[in-house]
A = this chain, B = another copy of it.
């Protein structure tokens, strides 16, 4: 699209850096933003700048919030003895919606050698310091049950080995509402292996 104006080319290039946005989508979004009164475009730009300005990683748990410590670390009513270790701030919202009321630790990613992400790229040292500071009874690792999530969980287990803290892992099994008949073999194997007294 060499015939676009320079500033439109640059806008498309910036949009293309977003996850899941290819050349066609970038072009569609750019011209969508430039159509009409552009109020929507300016509002979006301002929302990006405002969020960048106001939101920071919590100094305790690394969740993204407008306050530091974040709303969850500042909330005295929560159970500080249980720490839920998650990959991403979005996972905090998911577990919050699921009813968890302990404290969080956001790793800011997961160990993914193929993407060049190693243990030192995560907030693991801070996690070790939080546990060493005491008061925590259980660390539950809530990374995704896939290859990288399991590798990250194994790393957390090793990191906290010998510490006086229980390290647990969220349950794998058949998801609530799912049909046994349509579940994958590996999911059924997990559900069997994790069976509990009825």
Contacts and interface: CB of A to CB of B under 8 A. Distances in A.
Interface string A85-101: 00011101100110000
A117 to B, nearest CB: 12
A112 interface: no
A163 interface: no
Nearest to A89: B31
Interface in A4-47: 4-8, 10-11, 13-15, 17-20, 25, 27-35, 38, 40-47
Nearest to A54: B7
A90 B27 contact: yes
Nearest to A17: B40
A188 B150 CA distance: 54
A25 B21 CA distance: 11
B52 A34 contact: yes
A46 to B, nearest CB: 8
Given A6-B66, A14-B47, A51-B10, A35 B108 contact: yes
Count of identical protomers in the assembly: 2
Chain A interface residue bracket vs B:
35 or more
A50 interface: yes
B34 A45 contact: no
Contacts of A64: 5, 8, 31, 34
Contact of A48 (B4, B19, B41, B89): B41
Contacts of A40: 14, 17
A52 B48 contact: no
Interface of A: 1, 3-8, 10-11, 13-15, 17-20, 25, 27-35, 38, 40-55, 64-66, 71, 88-90, 92-93, 96-97, 108
* Interchain residue pairs A-B with the least CB separation, the first 9: A45-B48, A45-B45, A14-B47, A7-B51, A5-B66, A14-B44, A11-B47, A11-B51, A7-B54
